[in-house]
Amino acid sequence: MTKVSYRGHPARVEVSMPRFLFDRLTEHDKAPRCRYETARGVAEFVAARGLAHDSQSLLTTRLFIHMESALADAGRMPTHQVALSTRLLSPDGAFEPDASIFVDRGRAVRAGELGLGPQAKDIYLDTRKGHPMPNLVVEIDRSANSHRKLVPYFRMGVREVWTWNARGGAVIWTAGDNKQGEPVHAARSRVFPGLGREGLDRLLAVGLGSRERFRLSRELAGLMVAELV
């Protein structure tokens, strides 16, 4: 492997690999800038920092913050707790959602006792130790398929998963009651019934102006709080 970087420019990485592997690694919608030299059998990747992943994750966090403000305006103290970087451990492995939220007061209190809060970093919650799991987690994906993470989340006790990718948009997932236990799409959130999949998809859509997105976030937060109170 050869790495070449220049001050002020993205890093370029060359990796020797067969063409079929290159095709598999770059078949998703958010693959990095890359090309393949057949003569040398080398793939070149341009490692430029992308904002899409972080931006979509922060948008969901802002929605929760707007919900807190709407609850305060309605005379209600927020009882939920947002965790930005929580690693969830279970017999299925380790998973780190892009955002997660505790809605049940009991879970939030127990998570707080473990030192979990908005500024927490590298916090581990382990189902095998009886730690509380978030009620809802958010996955912002570079690839178009996050399906493999859904069943482990629901086995942990997570009630709902929101996923987003540029190709499929936002999807609200809940645990299915079919024999295979496969997760199913939901038109509306069960954790926050005031939020529909269409509204979440509009909020996270690429290309929406910052002012319009901010207004929409506050509007959706108001609808979510209206159902809660």
Residue 95 belongs to what domain range? 52-228
The pLDDT tens digits of the residues spanning 164-176 come to 988 889 999 998 7
Percent of the chain residues past pLDDT 90, beyond the cut: 31
The conformation of residue 134, written as its DSSP 8-state character, comes to: P
**pTM for the full model?**
0.73
Same domain, 27 and 60: no
**pLDDT for 162:** 95
Mean pLDDT of 191-202: 95
The pLDDT tens digits of the residues spanning 51-93 come to 455 588 889 989 998 998 999 888 888 777 777 557 888 999 8
The tally of domains found in the chain comes to 2
Cα 3 versus chain centre, distance: 30
Same domain, 22 and 96: no
Q: What is the dihedral of CA 199, 205, 209, 211, to 10 degrees?
A: 30
Same domain, 184 and 211: yes
User: Which region among 39-43, 86-90, 94-98, 225-229 has the lowest average model confidence (pLDDT)?
Assistant: 39-43
Same domain, 127 and 164: yes
Same domain, 129 and 29: no
Same domain, 117 and 207: yes
